Structure 1
């Protein structure tokens, strides 16, 4: 089920489409389908894919990245079936930040780590350095260029991993559980990175279990369950549908649940929305 309006109030047809998912099926072993005929488009909106473990989220993003090939159907990027594009070629356009940065980082100097990807896709050294320094500034790690990534905390290593993908200047960036091992500062920094990427026309996709983070940052939410899509719409539309969320064994964001328990019919995604609502209500009373 796909809702008709995006987070900004646009009709979904007004968003620029980057990827088409066409009757997508995938099985690791014969007779056990992980994905069962998915059909939707990935557009410019920040998009969170949520669902219980085993719903098919990780398999799906591996298919987007070209790390797996569909059993049936197709994933198209810019109108081309990605089966006709090598993983190396696709890396120029689609980047992925792993859940555990230790699975991604292998250099002993932060700047070398961030420059590796840009150089690997054919960027000149001067351009790779410039992009890498910009990416490190974006994630708040300027001044750490000469440090060993493993002398940094896990939260900062995650930011190094993000910078290494951002520096490659892809059109699409996939985040696998971006908030794991992040403190408050790290989460806020990643939020600002995602918003900045969105403003620059980069399509950001995440698979994630942190509903509060999704409610704060992501425009579109797709609910996966048992290899299919249960719900697809704006964050407010999806988190308003408590029945479908329960069917997928998911919870609403904390603020949404709290306000509903207090008797509010409106759907608030975060504390900022609730405060703005109360201020507007107070202004109407006083005026």
Structure 2
């Protein structure tokens, strides 16, 4: 696999003279990392993510993907490196069959037909969508449509995958599927960037968090450090994960972020 490190250097983005979405964002993400972008609505998380695949271009500063400046690459070139799912699946779905929707990305990357078929089958299996392959996505429930769009992104087989609020509307079974997908992407050394308000999921699955507010990075580091910092979380309108609050209630020496670490600390 081609090594695709991400580097943002003093990136500024303005939607207009009155609206600055990102202010001097500097960030390095190495191939194979798994990070979460967290913060309140309007903090700049999605704007930052859209700079990674060319949907937005910096008003100032520069970005590099795999050593190449993003402003010198078109969206088609960047889409081979970074695949991004939208928060609302209805903003992404365009086909009348689940199979065709999942195949849309790899087909537009001009992969060979046998590779497209293999990638689609794999993604459908990962998200338990095989029985729905011939269904119309618009006839499915919200969480099923969400899984369809996530599967379509994974099927693109890019080095970097960005999921915007992937857990929204999911039940426990679907969350289990998503966790298994993240494990598979880790085995494949894919970089995974998750935008999320689900602190319980982030605490359990993500080791590094980048907290934004008002278009600025307030924190970039281990999730265990971030979730200890109640002032930071309050400034970002976020709450400690439930398992961390339980750790505090029992006054444990170790801040638990997963059920396993909680049980170990309790013993």
TM class, shorter-chain normalised?
Answer: over 0.9
Q: Name the counterpart of 2:182.
A: 194
Give the root-mean-square deviation of aligned CA atoms. Answer: 1.5
Measured after TM superposition, the shift of residue 128 of structure 1 is: 0.5
- Alignment partner for residue 260 of structure 1, among 248, 251, 260? 248
Q: Which moved more, 1:232-241 or 1:71-80?
A: 232-241
Asked whether the 8 Å contact 1:17–1:41 carries over to 2, the reply is: no
Q: Name the counterpart of 1:72.
A: 60
Asked if 1:25 corresponds to 2:12, the answer is: yes
Q: Name the counterpart of 2:115.
A: 127
Measured after TM superposition, the shift of residue 100 of structure 1 is: 1.5
Asked whether the 8 Å contact 2:4–2:81 carries over to 1, the reply is: no
Q: Name the counterpart of 2:155.
A: 167
Asked if 1:37 corresponds to 2:24, the answer is: yes
Q: Name the counterpart of 1:114.
A: 102
Q: Name the counterpart of 2:73.
A: 85
- Alignment partner for residue 180 of structure 1, among 156, 163, 168? 168
Greater Cα radius of gyration, structure 1 or 2: 1
Asked if 1:246 corresponds to 2:234, the answer is: yes
Asked if 1:136 corresponds to 2:124, the answer is: yes
Asked whether the 8 Å contact 1:154–1:181 carries over to 2, the reply is: yes
How far does the alpha carbon of each residue in 1:85-143 deviate from its partner, in whole angstroms, 9 at most, with x for none? Answer: 11011111110111111211121111111111111111122210111001111111223
Measured after TM superposition, the shift of residue 66 of structure 1 is: 0.8
Asked whether the 8 Å contact 1:55–1:227 carries over to 2, the reply is: yes
Q: TM-score, normalised by structure 2?
A: 0.94
Asked if 1:54 corresponds to 2:42, the answer is: yes
Determine the C-alpha separation between the residues in 2 that align with 1:105 and 1:28. 26
Q: TM-score, normalised by structure 1?
A: 0.88
Which blocks of at least 5 consecutive residues in structure 2 are unaligned?
none
SS of aligned partner of 2:52: helix
Asked whether the 8 Å contact 1:21–1:75 carries over to 2, the reply is: yes
Determine the C-alpha separation between the residues in 2 that align with 1:266 and 1:275. 11
Measured after TM superposition, the shift of residue 17 of structure 1 is: 6.4
How far does the alpha carbon of each residue in 1:55-84 deviate from its partner, in whole angstroms, 9 at most, with x for none? Answer: 111111111121111010011001111111
Measured after TM superposition, the shift of residue 265 of structure 1 is: 3.3
Asked whether the 8 Å contact 1:195–1:217 carries over to 2, the reply is: no
Q: Name the counterpart of 1:11.
A: none
Which blocks of at least 5 consecutive residues in structure 1 are unaligned?
1-15, 282-287
User: How many aligned residue pairs are there?
Assistant: 264
Asked whether the 8 Å contact 2:127–2:178 carries over to 1, the reply is: yes
Measured after TM superposition, the shift of residue 195 of structure 1 is: 1.8
